[in-house]
Amino acid sequence: MNTKEDRWLYTISPKQSLIHLNFKEIWQYRDLLFLFVKRDVITLYKQTILGPLWYFIQPLFTSVIFTLIFNNLAAIPTGEGIPAFLFNLAGITSWNYFSACLTGTSNTFTANQSIFGKVYFPRVITPLSVVFSNLLKFGIQLLVFICFYIYFIFFTDKASSAMPQMAILYLPVLIAFMGLFGLGFGMTISSMTTKYRDLSFLVGFGVQLLMYGSAVMYPLSYFKEKVPEYAWLIEYNPMTTIIEIFRYMTLGIGEFSLYKFIYAGSISIIFFLIGLIIFNKTEKSFIDTV
Amino acid sequence: MKDQDIILKAENISKQYRLGLVGTGTLSHDLNRWWSKIRGKEDPYLKVGEVNDRSSKGSSQYVWALKDINFEVKRGEVLGIIGKNGAGKSTLLKILSKVTSPTTGEIKTKGRIASLLEVGTGFHGEMTGRENIYLNGAILGMTKKEINLKIDEIIEFSGCQRYIDTPVKRYSSGMTVRLAFAVAAFLEPEILVIDEVLAVGDAEFQKKAIGKMQDISRGQGRTVLFVSHNMSAIKTLCTRGIVLEHGNIVFEGGSHESVEYYSKLSSSNSYVEAIHESYGDIISELNFEISRGNIKPDASFFIGDDMFFRLGFKVSSKMKNILISFNVLNYNNELISHISNEDSNYILNIEEVNSSVEICIKTDKILYIPGRYKLNLWIGDSKSNTLYTVENIFNFIIEQGNYTKRVRPLPKHSKVYLHSNWE
């Protein structure tokens, strides 16, 4: 009897295990992942005049505004010998990647229901493609950051104490953490929005609020000094840790310890796994509830 | 039937849907489900649920779109799935193509399933035809390598060579569909699930598409599951059919028998009633009878029988040269015969106001293939202006009888019996 059952290639059934990730299947669809990334990249700025320049404009202008408001007006110190503009650019570049992953994946099901309702492929390909296409965008923004870095070091004397640290070797790992964190968070939200649309409203301004809580435009140490009673809120936010580590790696300022690095990493991976479980549970029948 | 020939097997497939708005009470139902799951009990909402009849209002919020569906498909078979709107066809295809999962039951397969529920899924208007071939192909499960091998054939089949490097948003809708079908036609899964894609494109392309599908099933021995309302496509393409009604399989058999069963199903339910329409109120009180050899009204005939119609009506004004004609249609709504009073030079003049007319019409031997037929009536004035029409004025069945001496049934897809003498 057993051998008879084994002959079936696969079965479609309502039962589902907690994590049903068919890596072999995802591997088979790797070309689709690549094509989705390609589609996102080449179609994003079609019929715009500035085209890919928008990749530069957005972080630059945000940094300029932040510098004006938070550093010139509100006089938040960014550390001796670190130009405020560079400080903000570092924060925004890393924050942007996380927030793009989060918002981009958080509407996976609702935005793709017409495709998902017609044809089957491993659904997880879609959020993954968002993470990868944003990686490209992040790469470009990182280049902008590096260009300004070089400019400030070699052509001005404002960046006297900015210095990349040895820990920068771990930068790819840190980027992976950002991506996984955004992905896990986004997948959870996208799964829940299939039934409860309230969350999609939350994401929009939630991300904005979270930015203020993630030490993007101020150093964690300054917040601790000024508002010590709420500092733990900011400190235990894994994004704060990630951004602080990013600034430490590149500029040599901020708090860094191996313990923090591991903390950010494990939180990201836990979020990713939770997101994956919920996503998998949803993908089988979301088309009935969306 | 050899067991290893079965490539796909559906066992007790059911699918439950909740009616009304999702949102009100969703949370409470979810909590209820969760609570009974914790206590190890059965889902309380699985027990409720009614037969899915679209037209009658039920009391339960839950319906079974599919209920205990069982069927088997053999390798190389083309299975047609037919049924009225809302019978559960699309739900079944969605389950087969893994878009949604069944509430209960299992489907076991021995091959990859690719589905074509709608052509052009995932087409992006900003991308060129060529780029979209790759993207769409990948969505349907092809690898880049496979597409590279076939891209020239795909472009050729689509007939869009000239536009292939133009963004798809500049395409006409027909061209988009051609391109999309071309991609799908070159898929190579063991089992292909197709929903109504032939309803698009011009006649030339439809022919091409049907030909391609025949190649797929016959030439390459692949299995196809095909849903359509196009009965002649079902008959040409499919080897077997199942008829769904209210989420149940009500018939399973050859494709011709299935189509016939389905048309009986739809005619016995809805359009057996005659639809009278009068234009200008000149003709009224119409009555109609059909009889065999002047005995009594009857709805069943044998091949070779004569038919007698008796038609009566009232005409309110004086008229010259009234035209009367009947259309005989088969269950596919194909026109089989057109008969008219002009056939025998019968001239009907009304000399007085409000006079009653009684006409007897006799046809010679009917030579239709056994099956179900219906009659439509048309009455007009001498300038062919319509005065009165009746759709479905009569339904009748032709049986084989012994006019032909053959014992085996006449082929169902033939249209007219031609009597022949062999010496």
Predicted confidence band of residue B327 (pLDDT cuts 50, 70, 90): very high
Interface touch A119/B121, C-beta < 8 Å: yes
Interface touch A195/B22, C-beta < 8 Å: yes
Positive or negative CA dihedral for A165, A167, A170, A176? negative
Predicted confidence band of residue B5 (pLDDT cuts 50, 70, 90): confident
Q: What is the rounded average pLDDT for all residues in chain B?
A: 80
pLDDT of residue B45: 64
pLDDT of residue B378: 92
Interface touch A288/B17, C-beta < 8 Å: yes
pLDDT of residue B1: 44
Interface touch B100/A284, C-beta < 8 Å: yes
Of B14 and B269, the one with more pLDDT? B14
Of B26 and A95, the one with more pLDDT? A95
Which of B15, B46, B101, B188 should one mutate to test binding to chain A, selecting the residue with the greatest count of A CBs within 10 A? B101
Tell me the shortest Cα–Cα distance from A143 to chain B, in angstroms: 28
Residues of A in contact with B138 (CB under 8 A): 29, 31-32, 35
> What contacts A250, CB < 8 A, 6 or more positions away?
A90, A145, A149, A164, A168, A171
Query: Per residue in A211-267, pLDDT tens?
Result: 988 888 888 888 888 888 888 888 888 899 999 899 888 888 877 788 888 999 999
Instruction: Tell the residue number behind the tokens 């019996």, with chain if given.
Output: B417
Interface touch A285/B100, C-beta < 8 Å: yes
pLDDT of residue A157: 74
Interface touch A195/B100, C-beta < 8 Å: no
| Closest Cα in chain B to A42 | B127
Residue A269 has pLDDT above 90, yes or no: yes
Edge to edge, the sheet with strand B248-254 lists B113-116, B191-195, B223-227, B78-83, B240-245, B248-254
> What tokens appear for A204 in the block?
């929009």
Does residue A125 contact residue A29 with C-beta atoms inside 8 Å? yes
Query: Per residue in B230-257, pLDDT tens?
Result: 777 787 788 889 988 888 888 888 888 8
Residues of A in contact with B227 (CB under 8 A): none
Half-sphere exposure of B118 (CA within 13 A, CB side): 13
Does residue B255 contact residue B238 with C-beta atoms inside 8 Å? yes
pLDDT of residue B148: 92
Query: Per residue in B282-293, pLDDT tens?
Result: 888 888 877 665
* A67-74 contact pairs (CB < 8 A, 24+): A70/A217, A70/A218
Percent helix, percent strand, percent coil in chain A, to nearest 5: 75, 0, 25
On the 0-12 / 13-18 / 19+ scale of CB atoms within 10 A, B13 is buried
Instruction: Tell the residue number behind the tokens 């560079």, with chain if given.
Output: A86
State how far the Cα of B168 lies from the Cα of B179, in Å rounded to an integer.
10
Query: Per residue in A166-214, pLDDT tens?
Result: 788 888 999 999 999 999 999 998 888 887 778 878 888 899 899 988 8
Residues of A in contact with B103 (CB under 8 A): 14
Residue A4 has pLDDT above 50, yes or no: no
pLDDT of residue B50: 57
Q: What percent of chain B has pLDDT over 70?
A: 85
Residue B330 has pLDDT above 80, yes or no: yes
Among A121-125, B92-96, B142-146, B330-334, the least confident range: B330-334
Which residues of A lie closer than 8 Å to B, measured between beta carbons? 7-14, 16, 28-29, 31-32, 34-36, 38-39, 42-43, 46-47, 114-121, 195-196, 284-285, 287-289
pLDDT of residue B47: 58
Q: Tell me how many degrees the CA angle B350-B356-B357 measures, rounded to the nearest 5.
A: 70
The residue extents of the domains of chain A are: 22-285
State how far the Cα of B271 lies from the Cα of B257, in Å rounded to an integer.
20
> What tokens appear for B365 in the block?
């031997």
Query: Per residue in B147-156, pLDDT tens?
Result: 999 999 899 8
Of B237 and B53, the one with more pLDDT? B237
Tell me the shortest Cα–Cα distance from A19 to chain B, in angstroms: 16
Looking at A45-83, list the stretches that DSSP marks H as alpha helix, in order from N- to C-terminal side. Answer: 53-66
| Interface predicted TM-score (ipTM) | 0.80
Please provide the DSSP assignment of A224-252 as one string: HHH-GGGHHHHHT-HHHHHHHHHHHHHHS
Interface touch A14/B115, C-beta < 8 Å: no
Options 3.30.420.40, 3.20.80.10, 1.10.10.60, 2.70.50.60; CATH of B275-399? 2.70.50.60
Please provide the DSSP assignment of B272-304 as one string: TS-EEEESTT-EEEEEEEEESTTSSB-SEEETT
Q: Nearest by CB to B102, from A14, A42, A119: name it.
A: A14
Query: Per residue in A134-149, pLDDT tens?
Result: 998 899 899 999 998 8
State how far the Cα of B246 lies from the Cα of A4, in Å rounded to an integer.
33
pLDDT of residue B57: 56
Q: Tell me how many degrees the CA angle B230-B235-B241 measures, rounded to the nearest 5.
A: 95
Tell me the shortest Cα–Cα distance from B221 to chain A, in angstroms: 18
Q: Nearest by CB to B144, from A9, A31, A287: name it.
A: A31
Residue B46 has pLDDT above 70, yes or no: no
Q: What percent of chain A has pLDDT over 70?
A: 93
State how far the Cα of A79 lies from the Cα of A247, in Å rounded to an integer.
12
Check CB contact of B103 with chain A, cutoff 8 Å: yes
Q: What is the rounded average pLDDT for all residues in chain A?
A: 83
Interface touch A120/B4, C-beta < 8 Å: no
Give the global pTM: 0.70
Among A30-39, A44-53, A130-139, B54-63, the least confident range: B54-63
- CATH homologous superfamily of B3-11+67-112+189-268: P-loop containing nucleotide triphosphate hydrolases (3.40.50.300)
Predicted confidence band of residue A5 (pLDDT cuts 50, 70, 90): very low
Check CB contact of B100 with chain A, cutoff 8 Å: yes
| Closest Cα in chain A to B147 | A31
Of B150 and B195, the one with more pLDDT? B150
